[in-house]
């Protein structure tokens, strides 16, 4: 679904950033940053000119944020834009989310132009993941639900504190709600299994482009399990976001402690 111009780049610390328009989605750390620019009106000067340029930069950042958020991949078939075009109510919810953005940086250039950067969370109580789980949003969009949900060992038999799934070379794209299945199609991991209200949760999966970068992510704890994905689930016209584990990898995944699943201590390695 090629609606948006996007680029995957390597971040300095943790791995994967997706650039869309005048913004970026940091899939490892769970936030969106967007830049806006404002020019002082002709003939203005002093503090008033700066204030007016800042106001224009903020409005520009909001407009750019709408473009970036519309380009956020929700799952293999859906972008946020698909929700927004479904209903005016959803559009208003998303607009409110954008206007709640935090201003993190304001720079004034020599020619008086103001560069203003805002930040929006992907996760947490005020984040995009939670916003899209609200009833007034989900009632407008029917997701394809899996037929079976795999059994998870509630007690867990391992001492692993997280799991890294290597999906490199599978052409997987980052998304808010990716899923993991076993080779028979049973669901092993999805947003419904994660405590979305947990303090500090960003997204149900973090993404990185190297094993070293993945291991630095705090969500994994000190002893993450490493698994190799068998394949990605193909889509009809969409983009691949969901993974399939082979027999042994699925068995290992099922032995993870329940806290690993509930806390979203999951990282995908992708290209």
Structure confidence by residue, pLDDT tens digits, 247-261 = 999 999 999 999 999
- Sites in the chain below the pLDDT cut of 50: 1-5, 10-14, 145-148, 151-156
Residue 157: what pLDDT?
55
Judge if 116 and 50 occupy the same domain: yes
Counting every residue, how long is the chain?
271
Shared domain for 128 and 170, answered yes or no, is no
**Residues 195, 264 within the same domain:** yes
Instruction: Supply the pLDDT for residue 46.
Output: 82
In a domain, 177, yes or no: yes
Which pLDDT score, from 0 to 100, does residue 14 have? 43
Domain presence at residue 145: no
Answer yes or no: do 18 and 114 share one domain: yes
- Residue 129, burial from CB neighbour count under 10 angstroms (0-12, 13-18, 19+): buried
Which residues share a beta bridge with 74?
A: none
Residue 41 domain boundaries: 6-138
**Does residue 113 share a domain with residue 27?**
yes
**193 plus 264 within the same structural domain:** yes
Q: Are residues 124 and 221 in the same domain?
A: no
Please indicate, yes or no, if residue 1 is contained in any of the structural domains.
no
Q: Note whether 78 and 202 are same-domain residues.
A: no
User: Is residue 147 one of the residues assigned to a domain?
Assistant: no
**pLDDT tens-digit series, residues 48-107:** 889 999 999 999 999 999 999 999 999 888 899 988 888 888 889 899 999 999 999 999
* Claim to verify: residue 169 and residue 120 sit in the same structural domain: no
pLDDT of res. 154: 44
pLDDT for 6 equals: 52
Three-class secondary structure assignment of the chain: CCCCCEEEEECCCCCEEEEECCEEEECCCCEEEEEEEECCCCCCCHHHHHHHHHHHHHHHHHHHHHHHHHCCECCCCCEHHHHHCCCHHHHHHHHHHHHCCEEEEEEECCCCCEEEEEEEECCCCCCHHHHCCCHHHHCCCCCCCCCCECCCCCCCCCCCCEEEEECCCCCCCCCCCCCEEECCCCEEECHHHCCCCCCCCCCCCEEECCHHHHHCCHHHCCCEEEEEEEEECCCCCCCCCCEEECHHHHHHHHCCCHHHHHCCCEEEECC
Number of domains in the chain: 2
Q: Is residue 156 part of a domain?
A: no
In a domain, residue 116? The reply is yes
137 HSE (CA, 13 A, CB side): 18
Residue 132 domain-assigned? yes
Check whether residue 205 and residue 83 sit in a common domain: no
Locate all alpha helices (DSSP H) within the chain, ordered by sequence.
46-70, 80-84, 88-99, 128-131, 135-138, 211-215, 247-254, 258-262
Eight-class DSSP state of 149: B
Task: Identify the helix (H) or strand (E) that includes residue 7.
Answer: strand 6-10
What is the model's pLDDT at position 151? 47
Tell me if 40 is assigned to some domain.
yes
pTM as predicted: 0.83
Same domain as 90, residue 40: yes
Same domain membership, residue 110 and residue 24: yes
């Amino acid at each position: 679904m090629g609606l948006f111009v996007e680029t995957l780049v390597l971040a300095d610390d943790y791995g994967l950033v997706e650039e869309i328009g005048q913004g970026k989605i940091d899939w490892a750390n769970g936030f969106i940053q967007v830049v806006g620019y404002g020019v002082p009106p002709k003939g203005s000067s002093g503090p008033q000119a700066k204030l007016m340029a800042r106001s224009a930069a903020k409005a520009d950042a909001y407009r750019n944020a709408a473009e970036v958020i519309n380009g956020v991949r929700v799952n293999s078939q859906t972008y946020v834009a698909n929700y927004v075009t479904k209903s005016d109510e959803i559009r208003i919810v998303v607009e409110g989310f954008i206007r709640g953005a935090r201003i993190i940086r304001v720079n004034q250039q020599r020619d008086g132009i103001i560069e203003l950067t805002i930040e929006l969370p992907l996760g947490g109580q005020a984040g995009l993941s939670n916003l899209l789980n609200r009833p007034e949003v989900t009632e407008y969009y029917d997701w394809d639900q899996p037929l079976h949900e795999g059994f998870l060992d509630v007690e867990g038999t391992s001492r692993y504190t997280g799991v890294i799934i290597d999906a490199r070379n599978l052409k997987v794209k980052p998304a808010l709600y990716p899923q993991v299945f076993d080779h028979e199609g049973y669901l092993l991991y999805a947003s419904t299994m994660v405590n979305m209200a947990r303090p500090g949760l960003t997204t149900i999966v973090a993404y990185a482009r190297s094993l070293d970068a993945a291991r630095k992510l705090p969500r994994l704890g000190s002893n993450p399990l490493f698994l190799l994905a068998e394949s990605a689930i193909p889509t009809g016209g969409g983009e691949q976001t969901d993974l399939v584990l082979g027999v042994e990898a699925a068995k290992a995944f099922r032995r993870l402690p329940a806290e690993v699943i509930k806390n979203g201590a999951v990282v995908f390695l992708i290209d």
